[in-house]
Structure 1
Amino acid sequence: MKLQAVSNRKLYIQIADQIRDQIHAGAVEPGRQLPSERDLAQNLGVSRPTVREALIALEVAGLVEVRVGVGAFVRKPDTPDDGLPEQSASPLEIMAVRRLLEPEVAALATQSISPEGTARLGEAIRWMRTESQAGNWSSESDRMLHMTLADACGNAVLRDMLDGLWNSRRDKVDTRFHQHLADIGDVRAHILADHEAIVGAVVSGNAEGARTAMARHLQYVADAMLDAWE
């Protein structure tokens, strides 16, 4: 009886591995552009979001350069070690779980946020405004705002789940994915406005407003993760 080994590797890593093999085989030379996401997805029989994650993984490995709005270009590796980030969680899966949890966390926070928590939200917004005006964005200010809400939601299990999700966002693939978004001025401005709306609703004790503002924010980011490329 012949059996094939079952792979538990993430799908986007498996896709990245195939593209890496093609690069090593010389199918695309350094400096040349890879086929479009659409073409890669059709040829591989996977979704475009999966291809996008694979391209980011290849970028982290130093094999490609992703140019938002243009495509992915093959690089000559800086070192012989071009290992893929096997341990990184899927950014799209992280976002899917955040969309399930964080609107309710924001609503709960309206009922029990402390004066200290309110002050931290204000500090986070000021930090974000300063960064946005300078053309920058950091995951630290983003995490500070969202985890302040998690700390205030009154549910330790929810808080720990979100802490785990935000720790996963420190993985190289997720970090690079969001950095590409943050490099787009319109995206930064929209996210800042979203965060201001969330904080306004929380501080005023408007549970439904906070829930809706958070849901809209995460929907926008999820859409941007899919739309802001080619």
Structure 2
Amino acid sequence: MKLQAVSNRKLYIQIADQIRDQILGGAMAPGRQLPSERDLALGLGVSRPTVREALIALEVAGLVEVRVGVGAFVRQREAAGDALPEMSASPLEIMAVRRLLEPEAAALASRHVSPEGTARLAETLRRMRAETAAGQWSSESDRTLHMTLAESSGNAVLREMLDGLWASRRGAVDTRFHQHLADIGAVRAHILNDHEAIVAAIVSGNDDEARSAMARHLQFVADAMLEAWE
């Protein structure tokens, strides 16, 4: 594939644009596997995670099929579209900001959570256990748990900032990115255990452990976003 190096913001969209043009121009036949993330990253002068975001944007557009642990394949032309999803924030950038804010939100929640908040956390965990046992994952349950913590922090500005981040996560690329992770059973089980530990620390009023548990959870998800498909 003949590609051009890119150096601007939202690199994943620029990369996706180039690969889309190659596909729609007939340079890559349906069913063909795209070069590896490593080769694409080297050719473009960007990181592999950024390439991964681009491939997911192409998947959302119907141009490629991402097979976890295998690679990305050009879809049949009749199944492919030509428009990339709306330009949304980078899933990796969203995660980076969450890692700055959510551990402190969890610590604050351990000091200020109300009985109603505690009950909502318990109900959300019950739902998550049932979903995990059924081999499922719900982005809505995930959001409910994290936003309950934000609402329990006692800081309206922090809550609004986190609400904005979670609204950004509803973009098509971010949603598909996390769904690929959630399709991995070990990842689903780990995330449930993380949420159990976070809620236990908050309910017990242990702010240091709540902060640490949230930081460990987000570190795990961030690592999974980078490593789960290698």
Counterpart position of 1:161: 161
Letter in 1 for 2:165: L
> Contact 1:62/1:78 (CA < 8 Å) preserved in 2?
no
The answer to whether the 8 Å contact 1:22/1:28 transfers is yes
Structure 1 position 22 matched with structure 2 position 22: yes
Q: Please give the alpha-carbon distance, in whole angstroms, between the structure 2 residues aligned to 1:104 and 1:65.
A: 38
For 1:109, the equivalent position in structure 2 comes to 109
Hey, what does 1:82 align to over in structure 2? 82
Match of 1:97 in 2: 97
Give, in whole Å, the separation in 2 of the partners of 1:192 and 1:208: 20
Q: CA deviation at 1:117?
A: 0.1
Q: What is the root-mean-square deviation in Å for CA atoms of aligned residues? A: 1.3
Deviation by residue 1:36-72 (Cα, 9 ceiling, x = unmatched) = 0000000111110110000000000000000000000
Q: Is 1:41 the counterpart of 2:52 in the alignment?
A: no
1:80 and 1:181, CA in 2 relative to 1: closer, same or farther beyond 3 A? Answer: closer
1:178-189 aligned at under 5 Å gives the runs 178-189=178-189
- In 2: Cα distance, 1:101 partner to 1:117 partner: 19
Compute the displacement of 1:87 (Å).
2.2
Deviation for aligned residue 1:88: 1.7
Distance 2:128 2:82 in 1: 34
2:4 alignment counterpart: none
Alignment of 1:1-230 (within 5 A): 10-78=10-78, 81-230=81-230
Opposite residue 51 of structure 2, the aligned amino acid is V
Give me the whole-angstrom Cα distance separating, in 2, the residues matched to 1:191 and 1:227.
Answer: 15
For residues 127 and 81 of structure 1, the distance between their equivalents in structure 2, rounded to whole angstroms, comes to: 36
Secondary structure, counterpart of 1:94 in structure 2: helix
Q: Residue 78 of structure 1: CA displacement?
A: 4.2
What code does the residue aligned with 2:53 have?
A: E
| Letter paired with 1:166 | W
Question: Post-superposition shift, 1:32?
Answer: 1.0
User: What amino acid is the match of 1:66?
Assistant: V
CA contact (8 A) 2:34 2:72 kept: yes
Contact persistence 2:62–2:80 (CA under 8 A): no
Decide whether the 8 Å contact of 1:62 with 1:77 is kept in 2: no
Structure 2's unaligned 5+ residue stretches are 1-6
**CA distance, structure 1, for counterparts of residue 149 and residue 78 of structure 2:** 41
For 2:80 and 2:219, how far apart are their aligned partners in 1? 39
- Aligned 8 A contact 2:13 2:87 in 1: no
The answer (yes or no) to whether the contact 2:63–2:80 under 8 Å persists in 1 is no
Q: Which runs of 5+ in 1 are unaligned?
A: 1-6
TM-score when normalising by structure 2: 0.94
SS in 2 for 1:137: coil
Q: C-alpha distance in 2, partners of 1:95/1:134?
A: 27
SS of equivalent to 2:65:
strand
Distance in 1, Cα, partners of 2:77 & 2:127:
36
Which whole-Å CA distance do the structure 2 matches of 1:49 and 1:81 have between them? Answer: 24
Change over 3 Å in CA distance of 1:199–1:18 after alignment to 2:
same
Contact 2:63/2:81 (CA < 8 Å) preserved in 1? no
